[in-house]
Structure 1
C-alpha cells in the first residue's frame, strides 16, 4: 500500500502547532494564521472520528459570523488542500466529506502528540505501580506546553487545554511523589523543571527546591526561590506562598549549618558591581527594611520610603496588560538608574514600586522623584501624567496612622 512507502507525518499540538514530514518541518508562510490552518488543526485533532458540519462551523467561526458562512467552508477546504500540496505533501484529497461529517484522510500515517499522550495515560490507569508510573512518566515527557497556545481561538481549544493540563498535573504529581520516595531526585528534578517552564506560576518550583535540597544543591535551590518570588511579585503582586516561604527557611537553616571557609564566603559576597540601585524581592526588601530600621536607632541617619504608582485615575490601565507591562518595565529602569547603589527597591504590586532611600532628606526626595519622572517619560512625554508618588520617613511608617505599613509578610497602602 502507498502509506507503507511514505514517511510518517508527526503533528505537534502541545506548546506549539507544527507538522513534520520526511525529516523536515512543514510551513505555510503567510497563511499560518488563516482559517484553513484552523480547519487543519480541528481535523487532525479529531482524527478518524471526524466532526459534524454543525460542530465544525461552531468551532471555526464566532457566533456573529455563522449567519454569513454558507458556502465558505467548502472554499476553506479547497484552500487547505492546496496549501498542503504546496507545502510539500503528496497530491491527495485530504478532507473527506461524508454524511454531513468532515474527516481527515491522508496517504501517510499520522502521529499526533495529543493522541500519544492520551494513549499513555489510558494505559497507565489500567496498570499497577511501577508499570503505571513509567507510563505516566512517558506521558509527562510528551507534554511540552499548553494545547494549541496562542493563534487558535475557539471554546473547544480552551476546553481541551484545561482537560490536558489537569491530566498532566495529576500524572506529574504522582510520578514525582514516587520518584522522591525512591530517592530518584535527578529524575524528579528534570520533570519539575520542565513543568516550571510551562507553568511558571503553578509552584512546581517548590518541588524543584525539594529535589535540589535533597541533592545538597542549596545555592541552586536558593536561586530558584529568588527568581520565583520575583516573578510572583511582578506578575501577581503577591507575597510568596506559605509553602515557598517554608522552603526558604529550611534552605537558610541548612545553609547555615554547612561549614565554609573564608574563601568560600568571600566568593559568595563578591561580584555585585552593577550600576544603579539594588532591586530585590519583596521578601528581601522587607528584611533590608528591618535591618535599616534597627541601624538608624543608633546612628540617627534619615531614611525615607518612596512609593511610585502607575495610574491614569481609572481602571482602564490595569485592563491593558501589554501597556501596563511596558510602563512597569520602563519604571523599573527609571528607578534603578536614577538612584544610588546604596538605595534599593522592590515591586510590590503590578502598578507599584517601593524604594528605600538611605541618608537623604525631605528636599532631596522631591529631586529624586523628578529625576525618576524625567527618565520615565523620556520616550513617551504623555507618561508624565501617569506617575504618582508618596514619601514617608521610616518613623512615620511605624505609626498606626501611616498610609504605608507592613503587617506580617504583607505591604499595605491606604
Structure 2
C-alpha cells in the first residue's frame, strides 16, 4: 500500500481514504460487506474468531449450510472493495492468522471516532477556556453524524453510537457558553443548528439558539425556531416548551420601534394581515393569555363566555394510532376553524384535544356549537376510526 496514512471516518457516513482514493458506504454495495468491514476496523486491536464473525453476519437463524465458506466469500468481497484504495490493499489490511482474522495495525491509520474521543477528553481536562474551546471546536468538526448511521440497527453498534451521541451533546452544551462568553453569537447559532440536526429533541439547544438570535436582532428567526420546536414537541410528546423558552418567545414577539410613531401606524402594525373567515386558531400559549384577559374582563362586565373541550379517541375509548390521530387532528382543526365565528378562538391543547373559547354564547348555544362540529366531522369523514366527545363549562371570572 501507499505510505500515506489511511483515513477512516465512521461518524456519519462510513468511508476510507488513501492517497486521494475514497470508498464509502454510499456505493450501494452489500450491507453485510460494510458491516464486516466496520467490525474489523472497530475491533482492529484484537484477533477475531470465525465463529464470532459468522454470528455477527448471520446469527443463528440465517446461517447457511456452510457458514465458513460463506464467510470466506464475504471477506473476498471486502478485500476486493479495499483494493480500490491501492493494489493488494485488501490483503494488506485484513490478515488471516491460524483460522482467525485481524486488521493489520502495522499500517498507519487515523480513525475519526478515536480522534473525536481524544479531543473531547483533552478539552474537558483543560482549565484554560480558550484552549478548551480550541479542542472542542476540533472535536465538533469531526462529528458529521452518529456512529455508523447506516448500520444503526446492528446490536453492537447501538451502545457505541449512544456513547458518542451523548458525548457530542455534552460537548455542544459546554461549547455554547464558551462561544457566548466571547461574543461569538453567529458561531453559536451555527453550532446550535448543526446540533439540532443530530439531536432535535434537546431543549437546551433551542434555548441557546433563540437567545443568540435575539441578541443578534433576529426576532423573526427566533419566532420561527420556537414554532418549529413547539410543533415537534407537541406532535411527538404532547408537551409544550418550558417556561424559559416560552419567555424567549414572548420576548421575540415584542416589537419595539426605534422611533416615535403615530397612532395610525401603530394600528397598521397591530392589524391582522389577510384575516381568514371563521375562528382565530392560535397556539395554546396565546389561548392561555386570551383566557386570562377574558377572565379579567368578565369579572367586571358579567358577560357570559363558555369554554368547550373537544376530545378525540378510538372505539370504546381506546387510543388511536399516532398516524390516525395526526390525520384526525389535522382534519378537525380545519373543521373547527370554518365552523366557528370570527370572534371565537380555538387551540390544540393536547395531542388529542382542542379547546374553544365562545364569547357571548350561553351554555345551551355552546353545546349546540360543539354538537354541530361533531356531526359535521362524521358527515365529512364517515369512515374515520375516531370518536369525538365534548364538554362545556363557563369561563371562570378572575376572583
The aligned counterpart of 2:376 is: 371
Q: 1:310 to 1:50 in 2, by over 3 A?
A: farther
The aligned counterpart of 1:288 is: 290
Query: How far does residue 120 in structure 1 lie from its aligned partner after superposition?
Result: 2.6
Find the residue that maps to 1:238 and give its secondary structure.
coil
Deviation digits for residues 80-128 of structure 1 (CA, Å, limit 9, x no counterpart): 6437747993563464333565434699986544233224324434655
Query: How far does residue 207 in structure 1 lie from its aligned partner after superposition?
Result: 0.8
For residues 176 and 28 of structure 1, what CA distance do their matches in structure 2 show?
36
For residues 265 and 105 of structure 1, what CA distance do their matches in structure 2 show?
74
For residues 59 and 138 of structure 1, what CA distance do their matches in structure 2 show?
33
Query: How far does residue 51 in structure 1 lie from its aligned partner after superposition?
Result: 4.5
Q: 1:371 to 1:210 in 2, by over 3 A?
A: same
The aligned counterpart of 2:326 is: 328
After the TM superposition, which residues 357-396 of structure 1 pair with which residues of structure 2 at under 5 Å, given as runs? 361=365, 362-375=367-380, 377=381, 381=383, 383-384=384-385, 386-395=386-395
CA contact (8 A) 1:225 1:248 kept: yes
The match for 2:84 among 58, 72, 89 is: 89
The aligned counterpart of 2:132 is: 132
Deviation digits for residues 52-107 of structure 1 (CA, Å, limit 9, x no counterpart): 55655565566x649x5785365255236437747993563464333565434699
Q: 1:73 to 1:28 in 2, by over 3 A?
A: farther
Is the radius of gyration larger for structure 1 or structure 2? 2
For residues 11 and 359 of structure 1, what CA distance do their matches in structure 2 show?
65
Deviation digits for residues 114-172 of structure 1 (CA, Å, limit 9, x no counterpart): 23322432443465532221111121232233333465323322211221122212222
The aligned counterpart of 1:188 is: 188
Query: How far does residue 175 in structure 1 lie from its aligned partner after superposition?
Result: 1.6
CA contact (8 A) 2:209 2:222 kept: yes
Find the residue that maps to 2:160 and give its secondary structure.
helix
The match for 2:337 among 336, 339, 358 is: 339
For residues 293 and 68 of structure 2, what CA distance do their matches in structure 1 show?
68
Q: 1:283 to 1:49 in 2, by over 3 A?
A: farther
The aligned counterpart of 1:309 is: 312
After the TM superposition, which residues 203-282 of structure 1 pair with which residues of structure 2 at under 5 Å, given as runs? 203=203, 204-248=205-249, 251=252, 255=255, 261=261, 266=268, 269=271, 271-273=273-275, 278-282=280-284
Q: Which moved more, 1:328-337 or 1:70-79?
A: 70-79
Query: How far does residue 176 in structure 1 lie from its aligned partner after superposition?
Result: 1.4
Q: 1:126 to 1:304 in 2, by over 3 A?
A: closer
For residues 350 and 217 of structure 2, what CA distance do their matches in structure 1 show?
34
CA contact (8 A) 1:345 1:353 kept: yes
Query: How far does residue 35 in structure 1 lie from its aligned partner after superposition?
Result: 3.3
For residues 155 and 102 of structure 2, what CA distance do their matches in structure 1 show?
20
Q: 1:163 to 1:106 in 2, by over 3 A?
A: closer
Unaligned runs of 5+ in 1: 318-322, 400-414
Unaligned runs of 5+ in 2: none
Q: 1:367 to 1:126 in 2, by over 3 A?
A: closer
CA contact (8 A) 1:346 1:354 kept: yes
After the TM superposition, which residues 114-193 of structure 1 pair with which residues of structure 2 at under 5 Å, given as runs? 114-125=113-124, 127-129=126-128, 130-149=130-149, 152-193=152-193
Q: Which moved more, 1:114-123 or 1:131-140?
A: 114-123
Q: 1:306 to 1:145 in 2, by over 3 A?
A: same
Deviation digits for residues 6-48 of structure 1 (CA, Å, limit 9, x no counterpart): x96653433x55667746755443x55x433332332333345
The aligned counterpart of 2:34 is: 37
For residues 73 and 279 of structure 1, what CA distance do their matches in structure 2 show?
64
Q: Which moved more, 1:216-225 or 1:42-51?
A: 42-51
Deviation digits for residues 312-359 of structure 1 (CA, Å, limit 9, x no counterpart): 447674xxxxx4135314421332245327354433333334344566
Query: How far does residue 191 in structure 1 lie from its aligned partner after superposition?
Result: 0.9
Query: How far does residue 208 in structure 1 lie from its aligned partner after superposition?
Result: 0.9
State how many pairs are aligned: 379
The aligned counterpart of 2:67 is: 72
For residues 348 and 72 of structure 1, what CA distance do their matches in structure 2 show?
57
Question: What is the root-mean-square deviation in Å for CA atoms of aligned residues?
Answer: 4.1
